[in-house]
């Protein structure tokens, strides 16, 4: 093969073709389920209301409200409320996975076109990142954002590209960004739609000026009150309500990793033709790993369960885990998460004792939630240490959460250490998971 020639055997379908396929599959699923429910109404189905309540169906039942499942309530699903239900609870909920998420898996043509606009914006950001110093794009913008962080020129450029590209797409009611204090409603001069888009326009800002991988993270929600003036409260939906989530990595190649709630797909940008090609479908995070990612300079501030877990990994072969672990920390969440999506690992930015008003460093709505959905869709786990990130009931657009995600056996171990930290630390120092 000539250098530079695309290896067509590894290139299957474009992003557009993939999304059309997902739209078709979702229409087929919907037709089948409406067929089933009309048969149920006419008495043809053997599935009774009692069966639903006893959990034999993956429909949302009253049982949910009784706390027997971690699925969403009917109120949440029907969009009558943007509050988390009692069942969706908060950080305190169990780390149970298995149950079918209460996510709306409908891929409409509007959602498909919205995702194509987001992908186009990521392509433009990739070009801006690639130009770097040649376009005068490096360095500080001279402002700070709502979090008090210094904005880089490329943070501002990426934010503007996403706002501009999506404003006139016709599928959104509003957008929210790490770089803006308040949501951005679609101006009246543009057509509006029924979705909400959240993003971290350029994740890993400290790496911008040193030419290390950075990225964009995004999440799509349904606008719960179509036609109403969009407010921050409309965005405050749990991560389980996400209709789609993804990230782009601007690295040696530009990648787009996407879920519409039915597995995770990775697309590579052909920088010559400007097209996205599916290069990995149904990504899977291995359950086991011997690689961890954490900013160890914060170790003196960590809580006991985290300290214990990391100490055990560092002890290696001669410690309680009986094996050596490797460490990697890029300091761009997109790059660290992408490594984990590709070959497994555990990523942690836990709560620590530095500032009690900040329960962690990463933001729930546009960092933790989209990454948690991608990781769960790829068979991994994502927890705050006390419960699944996707079950956290948001209170603020820019709120922070502890993040522990990746290979499920390691995440489960950290959750176990949190749950039983008192017992583990004071009574049973040699206790191990799964024997």
| Interface contacts to ligand F6P, rule CB under 6 A | 203-206, 295, 331-333, 336, 361-362
Complex with ligand F6P: residue 22 or 398, whichever CB lies closer: 398
Between 104 and 179, name the residue whose CB sits nearer to ligand F6P. Answer: 179
Minimum distance from residue 27 beta carbon to ligand F6P (Å): 37
Taking CB under 5 A as the criterion, the residue among 91, 104, 155, 200 binding Mn ion is: 200
**Pick 101 or 406: Cβ nearer ligand F6P:** 406
412 binds Mn ion, rule: CB under 5 A: no
Closest CB to ligand F6P belongs to which residue? 333
Give the residue closest to Mn ion by C-beta: 203
Question: Residue 369 binds which entry of Mn ion, ligand F6P, none, with Cβ cut-offs from 5 to 8 Å by kind?
Answer: none
Full DSSP string of 377-431 = HTT-EEE-SSSBGGG-----TT-EE-EEEESHHHHHHHHHHHHTHHHHHHT-TT-
Q: How far apart are CA 59 and CA 220, in angstroms?
A: 22
Does position 410 interact with Mn ion (CB under 5 A)? The reply is no
- Tell me how far apart the alpha carbons of residues 100 and 97 are, in angstroms, rounded to a whole number: 8
> What residues have CB less than 8 Å from 2, skipping those under 6 apart?
none
Binding test (CB under 5 A) with Mn ion, winner from 104, 179, 203, 412? 203
CB neighbour class for 236 (10 Å; exposed up to 12, middle 13-18, buried from 19): buried
DSSP per-residue letters across 133-161? GGGT--SEEEEE-TTSPEEEHHHHHHHHH
Q: For residue 18, what are the contacts with CB-CB under 8 A and spacing of at least 6?
A: 265, 267, 278
Residue 351 is encoded by which pair of tokens? 């709560």
| Percentage helix, strand, coil for the chain under 3-state DSSP, each rounded to 5 | 40, 20, 45
Binding-site string for Mn ion from residue 159 to residue 198, where x marks contact by CB under 5 A and - marks none? ----------------------------------------
Shortest distance in whole angstroms from residue 300 CB to ligand F6P:
14
Q: Whole-number minimum distance, CB 85 to ligand F6P, in Å?
A: 30
* Least distance to Mn ion, CB of residue 129, Å: 15
Alpha-carbon gap, residue 243 to 107, rounded angstroms = 8
* Residue 179 interacting entry, from Mn ion, ligand F6P, none, C-beta within 5 to 8 Å by type: none
323 binds, among ligand F6P, Mn ion, none (CB under 5 to 8 A by kind): none
Write out the residues near Mn ion by the rule CB under 5 A: 200, 203
């Amino acid at each position: 093969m000539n250098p530079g020639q695309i290896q067509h055997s590894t290139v299957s379908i474009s992003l557009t073709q993939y999304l059309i396929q997902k739209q078709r599959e979702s229409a087929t699923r919907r037709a089948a389920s409406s067929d089933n429910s009309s048969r149920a109404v006419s008495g043809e189905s053997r599935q009774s209301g009692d069966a639903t309540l006893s959990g034999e169906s993956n429909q949302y039942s009253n049982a949910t409200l009784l706390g027997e499942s971690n699925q969403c309530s009917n109120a949440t699903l029907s969009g009558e409320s943007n509050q988390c239900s009692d069942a969706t609870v908060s950080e305190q909920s169990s780390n149970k996975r298995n149950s079918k998420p209460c996510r709306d898996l409908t891929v409409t043509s509007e959602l498909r076109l919205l995702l194509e606009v987001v992908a186009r914006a990521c392509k433009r950001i990739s070009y801006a990142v690639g130009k770097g110093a040649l376009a005068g794009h490096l360095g500080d913008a001279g402002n700070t954002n709502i979090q008090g962080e210094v904005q880089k020129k490329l943070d501002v450029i990426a934010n503007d590209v996403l706002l501009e590209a999506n404003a006139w797409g016709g599928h959104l009611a509003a957008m929210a960004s790490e770089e803006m204090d308040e949501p951005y409603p679609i101006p009246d001069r543009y057509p509006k739609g029924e979705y909400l888009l959240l993003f971290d326009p350029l994740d890993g800002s400290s790496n911008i000026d040193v030419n290390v991988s950075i990225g964009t993270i995004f999440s799509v929600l349904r606008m719960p009150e179509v036609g109403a003036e969009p407010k921050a409260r409309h965005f405050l939906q749990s991560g389980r309500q996400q209709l789609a989530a993804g990230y782009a990595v601007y690295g040696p190649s530009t990648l787009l990793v996407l879920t519409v709630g039915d597995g995770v797909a990775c697309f590579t940008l052909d920088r010559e033709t400007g097209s996205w090609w599916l290069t990995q479908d149904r990504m899977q995070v291995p359950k086991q790993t011997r690689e961890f990612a954490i900013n160890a300079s914060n170790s003196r501030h960590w809580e006991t369960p985290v300290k214990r877990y990391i100490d055990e990994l560092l002890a290696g072969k001669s410690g309680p885990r009986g094996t050596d672990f490797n460490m990697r920390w890029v300091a761009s969440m997109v790059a660290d998460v992408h490594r984990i999506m590709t070959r497994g690992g555990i990523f942690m930015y836990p709560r620590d004792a530095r500032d009690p008003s900040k329960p962690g460093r990463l933001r729930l709505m546009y960092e933790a939630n989209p990454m948690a959905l991608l990781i769960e869709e790829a068979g991994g786990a994502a927890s705050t240490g006390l419960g699944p990130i996707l079950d956290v009931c948001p209170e603020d657009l820019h709120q922070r959460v502890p993040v522990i995600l990746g290979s499920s056996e390691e995440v489960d171990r950290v959750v176990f250490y949190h749950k039983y930290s008192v017992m583990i630390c004071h009574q049973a120092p040699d206790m191990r998971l799964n024997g």
